[in-house]
Amino acid sequence: MAKKKIKKSFEPKIMTYLCNWSGFTETDVLTAGAIQGSPSIKVKRVVCSGTIEPALILETLNQGNDGVLICGCHLKQCHYINGNEKAEERVAKSKKLLKLLQINPDRVCLDWVSPEEKSKFINLIKDFTEKIVSLGPYNNGN
Ligand code: FES
């Protein structure tokens, strides 16, 4: 009888780039991460999601993170006019680049949050954590 390969669960390392204007704090991310099975989630506040370049996303993964979550303001609500539209374009480019490098593009997630969307924010962290757990560690080459 063939042995079934069981993917062991692991504690994912997730870097969150959080727009300063999103209404959430580092504590919100860390608390949600701890509750949602991602106690080693990290947070860097940025002035706008549009500042996140493809090179930074790749560098973040190469620094030992298993996933990159970018949280920006909703479209038409960016404090820098269209920074979040730039973020959309840059994340799309990043995903294409990751695909070329044979890295699963699902390791990167961009979403919009606002202060009144606490449950959406918590679910976003939960869903992304689950996604990264299902993908396994980044250094496994997927
Ligand atoms: S200021 Fe929040 S995404 Fe631009």
Cβ neighbors of 135 (< 8 A, separation 6 or more) are 66, 67, 104, 106, 107, 142
Total number of domains constituting the chain: 1
* Identity of the residue numbered 73: C
- The residue among 19, 21, 12, 22 whose CA lies nearest residue 42 is 12
Residue 50 near ligand 1, beta carbon < 6 Å: yes
Which atom belonging to ligand 1 lies closest to the Cα atom of 49?
Answer: 3
pLDDT band at 37 (very low <50, low <70, confident <90, very high): confident
Tell me if 7 is assigned to some domain: no
Chain centre to alpha carbon of residue 90: 14
113 assigned to some structural domain: yes
Q: What is the pTM of this model?
A: 0.90
53 CA → ligand 1 middle, Å: 14
Q: What would the pLDDT profile of 71-125 be if each residue is shown by its tens digit?
A: 999 999 999 999 999 999 999 999 999 999 999 999 999 999 999 999 999 999 9
The ligand 1 atom nearest the CA atom of 20:
2
Residue 81 Cα to ligand 1 midpoint, Å, equals 8
Structural domain for 92, as ranges: 14-137
Tell the residue number behind the tokens 């298993």, with chain if given. 66
In a domain, 86, yes or no: yes
Q: Per the domain annotation, does 1 fall within a domain?
A: no
Structural domain contains residue 142? no
Does 73 map to a domain?
yes
Q: Phi/psi of residue 99, each to 5°?
A: -60, -45
Residue 61, pLDDT above cutoff 60: yes
3-class SS at 82? coil
CA distances from 32 to 65, 129, 141 (A): 18, 10, 28
As a whole number of angstroms, the distance between CA 139 and CA 122 comes to 26
Q: CATH number for the domain including 28? A: 3.40.50.960
